[in-house]
Amino acid sequence: MSLTTVADGAVPQQNWLDKIGAGHVILAVALVLYPLVASDFFLTQIAGYSMIFGVLALSLMLLAGYGGMLSLAQITVAGIAAYAVAILGSNNSNVLGFGWPWWIVVPFAVAAAAVSSALIGWISVRTEGIYTLMITLAIATATFYFAQQNYAIFNGHSGYAGIHAPVFWGIDWRDPKPFYYLCLGLAALSYAAVLYGSRSTFGMTLQAIRDNPRRMRALGYHVTAHKVFAWFLAGILAGLAGVLLVWFNGRVSPGTIGVDVAIDILIIAVIGGLRHPIGPFVGAIVVILMQTFAIDIVGAERFNTLIGLVFLAIVFISPDGILGLWGRIKPHLAQGSLRAGP
Amino acid sequence: MHRRTLLALALFTGLTAPSMALAADDTIKIGLLATFEGPFTVLGEDGERGAMTAVAETNGTVAGKKIEIVKGSSDASPDSAVRAARKLVEQDGVKVLVGPLSGDEGLAVKDYAKTKPDVTFINGTSAAQDTTLRNPAENFFRFSTDGAQWMAGLGTYAFNDKGYKKVATVAEDYSFPYTQVFGFMAEFCKAGGHVPSKSWVPIGNKDFSSVIAAIPEDVDAIYVALGGADAVNFLTQYQQAGGSAPLIGGSITVDQTVLTSKGKLKDVLKGTPSAGPTADTNDAPAWKAFVDAYKKQPGAFPSPSLFAHGYYVNMKATLLALDQVGGDVSDGGKKLREALSKLSFDTPTGKVSLDKNRNAVADIFLTEVTEGSDGNLLNKLVKVVPQVNQTLGIPEDEFMKLGAVNRDNPSCP
């Protein structure tokens, strides 16, 4: 599950430590050993949940950072996967629930999410900047209200409850430790995939299209197809996150895919920073910690104000998010160590 | 590389759980879950006032231990309620939890309660029928009554005394208003009334013009079961659209949370009959004492809303039971739950006891909105319906045959 195994066999002739970076190795070891020190609550409600939202924000980072397409519909795509799990698998809401085994349900759910993401991309890809934001916001809002008022498929406001994570190999995958490793595995895989993808031919082409679509078109690249394919890939990530989200909550309702959640995803991506795939995960941890513990700091009346102020402060100090903040501090630290020399 | 190492370290230290200090022996932690965000914020804050009134009555102690209230916030969606409940139980380590406020939240928290048999859950004001009627949880208690019970007497009163034969309903689209409409129609249809049109609107709806246009012209009255901002928005827009049909109010529609809102609603609301677990002009000394105690809470309404009342009753029951067991929940709350099941006590609104599903049997008040001497709108007590049980006095097997409440059940067009 860790990053080490991913790159181990890939580059035999080069020093593997140099190739993947010491930071990654330390991070991987720390995350694998994390359950030894963490309580169940921190394992699932904070770490697991952060990684699910991290992957969701990563799918947005892929679109926005490499493709220049800012989307508010990522939670909608995840929601499609989540609802698909509820409908194709089993639930206790007495509506639909085909009871298929998880190994059929999950691929179906992720495929449904990826295809809908590609569709959303295909609709919005002709727009740019704020118009992409508007069109995806419209899609997210429309889906939310449709889910809320449709009873045949989405079961209205109450949605679906009683959805269980699968039990196989004698492990209940919703137990804190297995679920944590499941989230960690997905997060590590998605992170590695995006990092690898960004250096692949497709990733380079996508970034070139972001920087100058006209020139790329003139060079003979099919700009729309590349963008729609990026949406498809982002849909796979969001869909996988959606499957974990529904296993995590055990339920899905329109509240899961509301506009406020869509904005949370955007905040996570922006807070973390859109320049590197680690950004969404850093952002997710900050946002989830704030949302969970702000109420203990300032009480029930004003905790949302505190959350807002902290986010405002981060964006005000560093428009590039926490990653950008780090990028600014680093040169100072480096100079400090130079000065400290004899 | 250096950068990443530091980043990794920062992440690791940030994610390491500080081991939470367990509650000391001389304090007892009680979780309080209410809607401190979203469309029902005002309601949640009044619920908190009610709960704190009960805590203040015992000077913040129970069985010689100090009470520590840990608050959790939800936004009326079931997901947020479960998330907040999980944080209170799994992180803050509460063994007793009072809440949640809204109907679908109650259903979700009941499901969560089944996975935590050692924790005792006492309802806030969530009033969906199936939280306790069908498939209940052994450790979920409701000392406040459900939405159908709250309607006791209203259907008959509307048909016989007010003379309404045809009524349209407008209600929010989730389990609590379904339960309210069920409670109203159970009596109204039995008395011979008809409900030709039922409109269900999403929570937080802003524009009611299409709903107002869809109300048939020839109805005698409109039954409105909307809460908080939704009720104010509907009533304002209905008035602006020139609507003149008299209203019948759901329990939270003509509650203090709506009656105290500013604007021209006064003329529309005056004379609206309703029913619920409280009546503002109740003359009983116990109620008056409760109102005085409630008013000491910061930001209190002129009269406690049913949320303040519901949270008060449930918190009071919790404290009484905790007192009986000497504040001891070290046995996984077994003794506490036994004490709760047997508990029967006098609330500001009369005697409350539990049935076999741990749902309250209590008095219900039939009311009508009037203007008080100081210009505030109040719910005037018309009649007390004594000791209403969850099956509304119908034998249980017969009641269960009516089916689970939903948008289409019951029906009498």
Same domain, residue pair B46 and B140: yes
Q: Is residue B388 within 8 Å of residue B361, measured between CB atoms?
A: yes
Residue B54 Cα, gap to closest chain A Cα (Å): 18
The whole-number pLDDT of residue B319 equals 92
C-alpha dihedral, B349 to B353 to B358 to B360, nearest 10°: -30
Distance between CA atoms of A291 and A78, rounded to whole angstroms? 20
DSSP assignment string, A321-337:
HHHHHHHHHHHHHHHHH
Indicate whether B302 and B199 sit together in one domain. no
Q: Are residues B277 and B372 in the same domain?
A: yes
HSE, CB side, 13 Å, CA atoms: give it for residue A269.
Answer: 26
Q: Is residue B20 part of a domain?
A: no
Residue A5 has pLDDT above 50, yes or no: no
Which residues on adjacent β-strands are paired with residue B377? B371
- A-chain residues near B107 (CB < 8 A): 158, 161
φ, ψ at B60 (rounded to 5°): 70, 15
Name the β-bridge partners of B27: B66
For A245, the enclosing helix (H) or strand (E) is: helix A223-249
Residue B376 lies in a domain: yes
Task: Take residue B347 and report the two structure tokens written for it.
Answer: 């609330």
Q: Which pLDDT tens digit goes with each residue over A218-267? A: 999 999 899 999 999 999 999 999 999 999 888 888 888 888 889 889 98
Check residue A253 and give its pLDDT.
Answer: 86
B274, B287: one domain: no
Burial of B166 (0-12, 13-18, 19+ CB in 10 A): middle
Q: Determine, for residues A21 and B4 on separate chains, whether the beta-carbon distance falls below 8 Å.
A: yes
- The arithmetic mean of pLDDT across residues A159-182, rounded, is 83
Q: Kindly state whether residue B84 falls inside one of the protein's structural domains.
A: yes
Judge if B233 and B88 occupy the same domain: no
Distance between CA atoms of B185 and B151, rounded to whole angstroms? 9
Closest CA to B169 of B146, B196, B151, B137: B196
Strand partners for B171: B200, B225
**CATH number reported for the structural domain that contains residue B161 in this entry:** 3.40.50.2300
Q: Is the ipTM of this complex over 0.85?
A: no
Average pLDDT over residues A88-105: 82
- What's the DSSP call for residue A256? G
Does the pLDDT of residue A2 top 70, yes or no?
A: no
**Which residue(s) pair with B344 in the sheet?**
B353
Same domain, B306 and B369: no
Does one domain contain both B263 and B387? Answer: yes
pLDDT of residue B321: 92
User: A38–B83: do the CB atoms touch at under 8 Å?
Assistant: no
Q: Which of A161, A254, A301 sits opposite B111 (nearest CB)?
A: A161
Nearest CA to CA, how far is B387 from chain A (Å)? 30
**Structural domains counted in chain B:** 2
Q: What is the pLDDT of residue A101?
A: 83
Q: Contact at 8 Å (CB) between B192 and B202?
A: no
And the tokens for B259? 């009656």
pLDDT of residue B21: 42
User: Does residue B93 sit within a domain?
Assistant: yes
Lowest mean pLDDT among A34-43, A288-297, A312-321, B261-270: B261-270
For residue B356, what are the CA distances in angstroms to A176, A236, B56, B148, B353?
34, 49, 30, 18, 10
Residue with tokens 């690249």: A221
Among A145-154, A185-194, B23-32, top mean pLDDT goes to A185-194
Residue B304 lies in a domain: yes
Residues of chain B numbered 34-93 and touching chain A (CB < 8 Å): 34, 36-37, 45, 48, 71-73, 75, 77-80, 82-83, 86-87, 90-91
Tokens of B177: 């208003």
Low-confidence ranges of chain B (pLDDT < 50): 1, 11-14, 16-23
**Within this chain, do residues B159 and B303 fall inside the same structural domain, yes or no?**
no
- Shortest CA distance from B41: residue in chain A: A301
pLDDT digits (tens, 9 = 90+) for A307-326: 888 888 888 887 777 877 77
Do residues B388 and B363 touch, judged by C-beta distance below 8 A? Answer: yes
Residues 6+ apart with CB under 8 A from B197: B168, B169, B214, B215, B216, B219
E strands present in chain A: 160-161, 167-168, 171-172, 251-252
In a domain, B138, yes or no: yes
CA–CA distance from B55 to each of B60, B144, B320 (Å)?
5, 17, 11
Distance, in Å, from the CA atom of A206 to the CA atom of A226, rounded to the nearest integer, reads: 7
Query: Residues 6 or more apart from A149 whose CB is under 8 A from it?
Result: A156, B173, B202
Q: Which CATH number fits domain A38-339: 1.10.3680, 1.10.10, 2.60.40, 1.10.3470?
A: 1.10.3470
Q: Residues for chain A: how many in total?
A: 342
Note whether B299 and B369 are same-domain residues: no
Do B244 and B378 belong together in one domain? Answer: yes
Q: Among candidates A159, A129, A166, A127, which has minimal Cα distance to A144?
A: A159
CA–CA distance, B411 with B413 (Å, rounded to integer): 6
Residues B215 and B242 in one domain: yes
Residue B231 lies in a domain: yes
Tens of pLDDT, residues B367-402: 999 888 877 888 889 989 988 988 888 888 888 888
- Using CB atoms, pick whichever of B12, B19, B79 lies closest to residue A255: B79
CA nearest to A254 within chain B:
B77
> pLDDT digits over B393-406, tens only?
888 888 888 888 88
- pLDDT of A6 reads 43
- Per DSSP bridges, beta strands B247-249 and B221-225 are parallel
Residue span of the structural domain in which B187 resides: 149-282+364-401
User: Distance (Å, rounded) from C-alpha B107 to C-alpha B190?
Assistant: 28
Does a structural domain hold residue B80? Answer: yes
Within this chain, do residues B177 and B278 fall inside the same structural domain, yes or no?
yes
